[in-house]
Structure 1
Amino acid sequence: MNDLRVLVVDDEPLAAEGHASYVQRVPGFEVAGVTGTVQETLRMLRGHEVDLVLLDLNLPDGNGLDIVRRIRAAGGTVDILPITAAREARLVRNAVALGVIGYLLKPFTFNDLRERLEAYQRFRLQLASDEVTTQRGVDAVFRDLRRPVEAPSVAPKGLVNEVLDEVIAALRASAPEGMSASEVAHGLDTSRVTARRYLQYLADQGRAIRSQRTGGSGRPEVIFTWHE
């Protein structure tokens, strides 16, 4: 099966960039594009092949579900995964009625999205096979697609617990300003590459938030702020 094409829809550039980078890290997926409004998204869908839309619901020119309604009214079958901070039961109910494949609340981690993308990939593979011919097969398809995400219990191989604790302590102490990888590296007497690896791990787990520090004449600097 060819890589599944994902459209990222979010009006916050930093969030959209982060979601797109998550998608690119999952084998079997590619980013078809990034949009930030209802109208821009509809134009993108009319002109490009897209398998899955990661859809923010709060857009500057309308609700993201307006996009889904217009797609369905036109006979479109692209799959939709809302990724939003909107927690109202009414929105969840409306999203389900429009046939979304899930509902992912912000903030979420890379592992949260990765597991849902991998489940969606299996879903597509199963529907393309001859396996879904019995009730048991149908139940298995939907059970895998909608199963809860399990948080990892251990840090990935290669991270040292003592160093991770030091990075966490540094981030805690720097709140709410946050720290860059260079600042963490200087404080812990380690390399910037090593510090960045630990910081990115914490961001992937949702324990730190990436943002940009602007100012001065140089390029904006990525900083990490403790989230728990």
Structure 2
Amino acid sequence: MPESIRVLVVEDDPITAEAHAAYVTRVDGFLPVGIAHTGHEAIRMLRDARERRTPPIDLILLDVNLPDTTGIELCRSLRAAGIEIDVIAVTAVRDAAVVRSAVSLGIVQYLIKPFGFAAFAEKLTAYRDFHARVGSAVVTDQQEVDASFAALRTMSASQLPKGLTRQTLDRVRTAVRAAPSGAMSAAELAAALDLSRVTARRYLEHLADSGVVERSSRYGTPGRPEVEYRRR
């Protein structure tokens, strides 16, 4: 089983910071390892982690408005100090210039407050898929690069095809990722998640159309080959 992604929450409001840390614990594959209320405190904790005085940190959930700096300036300071770490901006700031700066600094996701747990989990789940793809030292080909970046793209519930829910879609993605062979048929998914075969196929087809999985034919059984859906 892969190690949990270790998360530092950087948020000046104590109640909000604790809420975000609690949210992190509810998403499979993530572990909150600290809370910083200022930019100075965040840099100190990240340096301690880099120098192995404390456990490592993989991801920052970063508020853009901090009492001693901005999240954008904090990211610039981290990059200048050679601290390479992924960042998800969690902020009420909607300024286009801030968004452009976030993109230029390599912030991988931008989550606008206020939000509920479903939106939060959606962003972290997408990041988890991205993190799993780029965890190896070598990217095999262009298709793998494209699939890695596609993993960061999320779709709101209102954009899902009628009858599909975000919660079940996340369960389907997790099931395909966890499959020992890296692929599942609609029948296997239906059995694993207690869905009808038709419903399982609809979710798998949606993931295939979105570029998250790819379709292929599974041979070796009598009759027509079975369609399987393989994680990219």
TM-score normalized by structure 1?
Answer: 0.64
Q: 3-state SS of the aligned residue for 2:60?
A: strand
In structure 2, give the amino acid aligned to 1:34: I
The AA in structure 2 aligned to 1:50 is: I
Q: Is the 8 A contact 2:12 2:67 kept in 1?
A: yes
> Are 1:149 and 2:156 counterparts?
yes
- After superposition, residues 192-203 of structure 1 pair within 5 angstroms as none
Q: Deviations over 1:150-203 (max 9, x none)?
A: 36876989xxxxxxxxxxxxxxxxxxxxxxxxxxxxxxxxxxxxxxxxxxxxxx
Letter in structure 1 aligned against 2:132: L
Does the C-alpha gap of structure 1 residues 22 and 98 become closer, same or farther in structure 2, counting only changes over 3 Å?
A: same
User: Post-superposition shift, 1:128?
Assistant: 2.5
Aligned partners of 2:40 and 2:30: how far apart in 1? 24
1:104 to 2:104 alignment: no
CA contact (8 A) 2:9 2:32 kept: yes
2:130 counterpart residue number? 123
Aligned twin of 1:191: none
Aligned to 1:4: 5
Aligned to 2:27: 26
Query: Residue 52 of structure 1 contacts residue 78 of structure 1 at CA under 8 Å; is this kept in 2?
Result: yes
The residue type paired with residue 31 of structure 1 is P
Q: Which amino acid aligns with 1:132?
A: V
Runs of 4+ in 1 over 2 A off after TM superposition: 128-132, 146-157
User: Whole-Å Cα distance in 1 between the matches of residues 78 and 157 of structure 2?
Assistant: 32
* 1:41 counterpart residue number: 42
Q: Deviation at 1:134?
A: 1.6
1:129, CA displacement in angstroms?
4.2
**DSSP 3-state at the match of 1:146:** coil
Within 1, Cα distance between the matches of 2:151 and 2:129?
Answer: 8
Q: d(CA) in 1 for partners of 2:157 and 2:141?
A: 28
Secondary structure of 1:95 counterpart: helix
Change (3 A) 1:125 1:13: same
Cα distance, 1:149–1:75 mapped onto 2, change above 3 Å: farther
Which segments of 5 or more consecutive residues in structure 1 lack a partner in the other structure?
158-228
Which deviations, in whole Å up to 9, do the C-alpha atoms of 1:129-152 show, x marking residues without a partner? 488322121111111212333368
Q: Which moved more, 1:73-82 or 1:127-136?
A: 127-136
Q: Would you say how many aligned residue pairs link Structure 1 and Structure 2?
A: 157
Distance 1:132 1:108 in 2: 34
Sequence identity of aligned pairs in percent? 45
Please name the residue that 1:169 is paired with: none
1:17 positional shift: 1.0
Structure 2 runs not aligned, ≥5 long: 50-55, 169-232
Shift of 1:74: 1.4
Matched residue SS, 2:119:
helix
Look up the SS of the partner of 2:106 in the other structure.
coil
Higher-RCO chain (CA-CA 8 Å, sequence separation at least 6): 1
In structure 2, distance between residues paired with 1:32 and 1:66: 23
In structure 2, how many angstroms separate the alpha carbons of the residues matched to 1:138 and 1:87? 29
Q: Output the aligned Cα RMSD.
A: 2.2
